[in-house]
């Protein structure tokens, strides 16, 4: 009896937090059976339990009614002795269920019986751990599909060898070992941003090896991981400062190169510059042209005996250029052959599609929303808002991707919301914007003095240096006054008075002993 009381107390609280619209009620109707099943499943997720179809009655291959219960309904009797049974069991004879059936001559479905009580505790926060409510987001699902399409080369290669009995062929085995040389040729039409197959993991290993080893403890790993984030953030801040305050000179007089110089970071602009320098070795010849669409043949002098040729197409209406080498499609950089054609066509500016945002100086990095102890406290509310927006956006995008009509509605809503937010941001910026002088003063106030370090050797400003200079000056004046007394006997009394005053000052200096740490000398 006491156990039942405890269980009852555990299950009363979750029901109070479930939205009343989600709670099943007798008489609620649905258009299809799938809608009824989905409704009860959503209620179960909100309450913290899972469901299953207990039984379905049919008549002439048509479903007439269905019983959906809690997944912990029933109790399976094991043949294994309770003392030997170790596997957990879920059945607890839970009575929670709904009963639905069709309405005659209507085609709709109605709930005719509802039981909301359970014989076990359940928690809404743990519902996502139940098998029925586990699901991958659309972004994660797409990532898995892309990775599966990329692990596929090895599978197809093995199938090819087995189907044709070539598993022992030495030439094919050697060709497979050298696949890193020839496989990229068949992947040029995919965008890889210049990365190799293992470059990401190699870069990660070399970066983390500076902070942790295989013998590092878990506590050391957590601390050093935070230091890694701080080091990477600091490096990016320094790189951003260098991009803002310095400029890499252009290698040519091309206005297109100046366009990339203004948009790209230093690291990526150096890669672009290599293509502009190589443009000097290209020879462009027009092969065919019609209605703004031209086909060029670009020859490149690789060596004294090798001369490669590439076909380049240029559409002056769409401002689009495409080369046979597919360098832009694979690495995101316009090749020297395309640049040679643009120069031949006297194009001064390239289309924005050829300036990728990922390498722009003004790019907004998504990873800056990752929490770190090095972040300023003012950024924490923004990170929370970002996480909430991403969570809601994933659900909206998943729902809208079901059809073209829903996708078009979401696009229109995005455009309207974006215009409204930009207008509000521009209005606030004009009202609360700081002047250049205010910004500088604020930044100056945040600066702190560098730590004072004791220098080696004799200090420039010693405590006795001022005293030594005063004594030297007094001695020089004394010699001058002695000569004056010999030459000017009439002024002896005046000289004697001045000499007495001077000697009094000297005596004061001589008996003045500075205290420890006292830098001032009084008279």
pLDDT, tens digit only, all 523 positions of the chain = 333 333 333 444 445 578 888 899 999 999 999 999 999 999 999 998 999 999 999 888 889 999 999 988 887 666 666 656 556 666 778 999 999 999 877 889 999 999 999 988 888 888 888 888 877 767 777 777 766 665 677 788 888 888 898 888 889 888 888 877 777 777 666 776 666 655 556 667 777 788 888 888 888 888 888 888 888 888 888 888 888 888 889 988 999 999 999 999 998 999 999 999 988 888 888 888 888 889 999 998 777 777 789 999 999 989 999 999 888 988 889 999 999 999 999 999 999 999 998 888 887 665 555 555 555 554 567 777 887 888 788 888 888 888 999 999 999 999 999 999 988 988 887 654 443 334 333 343 343 445 555 555 555 555 445 556 666 677 666 656 555 554 544 444 444 444 443 343 333 333 333 444 444 333 2
Residue burial 282-297, b: 16+ Cβ < 10 Å; e: rest: bebeeeeeeeeebebb
Q: How many CA atoms lie within 13 A of 225 on its CB side?
A: 10
Question: Distances in Å between the alpha carbon of 124 and those of 15, 56, 118, 128?
Answer: 10, 28, 14, 8
H helices present in 348-457, as ranges: 380-400, 404-432, 436-446
| Integer-rounded Cα radius of gyration of the chain | 41
The torsion angles phi and psi of 513, rounded to 5 degrees, stand at -105, 115
Q: 307-315 and 51-59 as β-strands: parallel, antiparallel, unpaired?
A: unpaired
> Residue for token digits 């924005």?
352
- The Cα 217–Cα 280 span in angstroms is 56
Q: Is the dihedral of CA 346, 352, 355, 361 positive or negative?
A: positive
């Amino acid at each position: 009896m006491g156990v039942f009381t405890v269980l009852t107390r555990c299950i009363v609280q979750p029901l109070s937090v479930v939205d009343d619209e989600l709670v099943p009620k007798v008489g609620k109707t649905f258009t299809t059976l799938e809608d009824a099943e989905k409704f009860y499943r959503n209620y179960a997720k909100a309450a913290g339990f899972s469901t299953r179809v207990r039984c379905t009655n049919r008549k002439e291959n048509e479903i007439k009614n269905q019983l959906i219960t809690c997944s912990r309904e029933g109790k399976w009797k094991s043949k294994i002795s309770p003392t030997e049974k170790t596997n957990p069991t879920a059945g607890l004879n839970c009575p929670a269920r709904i009963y639905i059936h069709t309405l005659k001559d209507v085609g709709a479905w109605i709930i005719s019986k509802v039981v909301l009580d359970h014989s076990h505790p359940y928690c809404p926060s743990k519902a996502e751990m139940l098998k029925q409510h586990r699901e991958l987001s659309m972004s994660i699902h797409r990532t898995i599909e892309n990775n599966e399409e990329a692990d596929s080369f090895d599978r197809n290669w093995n199938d090819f060898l087995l189907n044709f009995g070539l598993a022992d062929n030495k030439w094919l085995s050697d060709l497979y070992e050298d696949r890193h040389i020839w496989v990229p040729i068949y992947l040029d039409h995919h965008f890889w941003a210049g990365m190799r197959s293992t470059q990401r993991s190699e870069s990660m290993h070399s970066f983390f090896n500076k902070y942790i080893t295989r013998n590092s403890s878990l506590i050391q790993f957590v601390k050093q991981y935070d230091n890694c984030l701080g080091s990477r953030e600091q490096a990016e801040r320094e790189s951003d400062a260098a991009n803002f305050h310095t400029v890499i000179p252009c290698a040519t007089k091309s206005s297109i190169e100046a366009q990339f110089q203004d948009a790209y970071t230093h690291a990526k602009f150096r890669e672009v510059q290599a293509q502009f320098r190589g443009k000097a070795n290209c020879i462009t010849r027009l092969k065919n042209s019609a209605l703004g669409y031209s086909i060029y043949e670009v020859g490149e002098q690789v060596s004294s005996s090798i001369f490669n040729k590439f076909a380049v197409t240029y559409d002056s209406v769409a401002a689009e250029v495409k080369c046979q080498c597919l360098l832009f499609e694979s690495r995101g950089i316009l090749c020297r052959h395309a640049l040679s054609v643009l120069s031949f066509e006297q194009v001064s500016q390239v289309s924005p599609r050829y300036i990728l945002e990922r390498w722009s100086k003004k790019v907004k990095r998504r990873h800056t929303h990752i929490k770190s102890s090095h972040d300023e406290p003012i950024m924490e509310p923004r990170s929370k808002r970002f996480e909430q927006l991403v969570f809601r956006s994933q659900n909206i995008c998943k729902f809208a991707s079901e059809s073209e009509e829903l996708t078009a509605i979401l696009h229109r809503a995005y455009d309207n919301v974006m215009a409204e937010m930009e207008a509000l941001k521009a209005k606030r910026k004009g009202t609360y914007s700081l002047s250049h002088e205010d910004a500088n003063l604020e930044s100056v106030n945040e600066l702190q003095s560098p730590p004072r370090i004791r220098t080696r050797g004799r200090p420039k400003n010693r405590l006795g240096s001022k005293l030594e200079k005063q004594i030297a000056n007094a001695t020089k004046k004394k010699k001058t006054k002695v000569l004056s007394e010999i030459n000017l006997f009439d002024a002896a009394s005046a000289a004697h008075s001045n000499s007495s005053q001077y000697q009094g000052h000297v005596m004061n200096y001589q008996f003045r002993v500075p205290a420890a740490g006292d830098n001032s000398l009084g008279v």
